[in-house]
Amino acid sequence: MTAMTDIQELLLSRIRDVEDYPEQGVMFKDITPLLADPAAFTALTDAFAEIAERTGATKIVGLEARGFILGAPVAVRAGLGFIPVRKAGKLPGATLRQAYDLEYGSAEIEVHAEDLTAGRPRPGRGRRPRHRRHRRGLPAADPPGGRRDRRRRRPDGTRLPRRPRPAGAGPGRSAPGGAAPGL
């Protein structure tokens, strides 16, 4: 048996299934027994930190509330910053918001806009595909002010209209009348 298999068995043995919670037909995964077991909690934290280091993560993002419990110790163990993602209306200041659906309803989450900085991959690592972000997490796009988003924005995050270009200006265009500018 490999070490990873032993860790998987340990972790899975500490996650309790609760049928029909919080609603009929939902299978709730209760991680409180895992959190109460120091060996299992340490094994999980170490495994996640190793994945973060191996993939070149620059921050750990944790979705409320389990993500806070698990994400913060992983960030500390990996030596990375932690970004909390909260339920809508719980964060002050400028935020980015995303709606998502659950088996038993829908909700919205937010993150501080300034916590998401456009980062570059660590040396020797390619840029990871954006579609790998958590399906209920942040939208698959760079944050405002990120590398691909150079347009000006209002404080609420919406884009300002583009500035009009002067007639004849722009790449590959000549000035009115066909003459090159300055001639």
The residues that are catalytic are 66, 103
Q: Which residues of 4-16 are buried (b: 16+ CB within 10 A; e: fewer)?
A: eeeeeeebeebee
Total domains, the chain? 1
Give the side-chain half-sphere CA count within 13 A for 168. 9
Q: What angle do CA 108, 109, 110 make, to 5 degrees?
A: 130
**Would you say residue 147 lies in a domain?**
no
177 belongs to a structural domain: no
pLDDT of residue 65: 84
Residues 52-79 have pLDDT tens digits of: 999 999 999 999 888 999 999 999 999 9
**What's the pLDDT tens digit per position in 87-113?**
999 999 899 999 988 777 888 999 998
User: Is there a domain that residue 66 lies in?
Assistant: yes
Residue 40 sits in which domain range?
3-114
Mean pLDDT estimate for the chain:
77
pLDDT at 168 over 90: no
Q: Is residue 96 part of a domain?
A: yes
- The CATH number covering residue 106 comes to 3.40.50.2020
Give the residue, 164 or 30, on which the prediction is more confident: 30
- Answer yes or no: is 39 within a domain: yes
Q: Is residue 133 part of a domain?
A: no
pLDDT single digits (tens) 138-162: 554 445 545 444 455 666 666 666 6
Residue 164 covered by a domain: no
pTM tops 0.75, yes or no = no
Instruction: Kindly state whether residue 124 falls inside one of the protein's structural domains.
Output: no
